A and B are shown apart, each in its own frame.
Chain A
Amino acid sequence: MELLDRYLLQVQRYLPLKDREDTIKELKGLLLEDYDNRIENGENNEDALYNLLKDFGDPKEVALKYRNDAPIISREMEPFLYLVLKIVIITAPAGILLARLIDFASSNETFNLMKILLEVFYSMPAMVEGAIFGAGFVFIMFFLVGRYITPNIVLEVNEFEPNHLPLIPSKVFKVSLFESVFSISAGILFLYLINYQQGLISIYLDGNSYRLLNDHFNDILSFININVMFGIVISFIHVFKRKKTMVTSTLELMSTMFGGAIFLMLATGSIFNEVIIDGYDLDIIPTLFVIGMYVGAVLSFIGGIVIYVKVIIQRSGTEELIKDTIRKLDEL
Chain B
Amino acid sequence: MKKNALLIAFISFPLLTNAQDFFNSYEDQRDVTFAVINKSMIRLLTKIDIGDEEAQNFLEMAKGIDNIKVIMTESPQKEAKIKADVEKYVGTSNGLEELMRVKDEGQSIKFYSREGKDESHVSELLMFLNGEIEGKKGTVLLSITGDVNLNDISKLTKQLNVPGSENLNKIEKKN
Instruction: Say if A and B assemble together.
Output: no
Chain A residues engaging chain B, CB cutoff 8 angstroms? none
Chain B residues engaging chain A, CB cutoff 8 angstroms? none
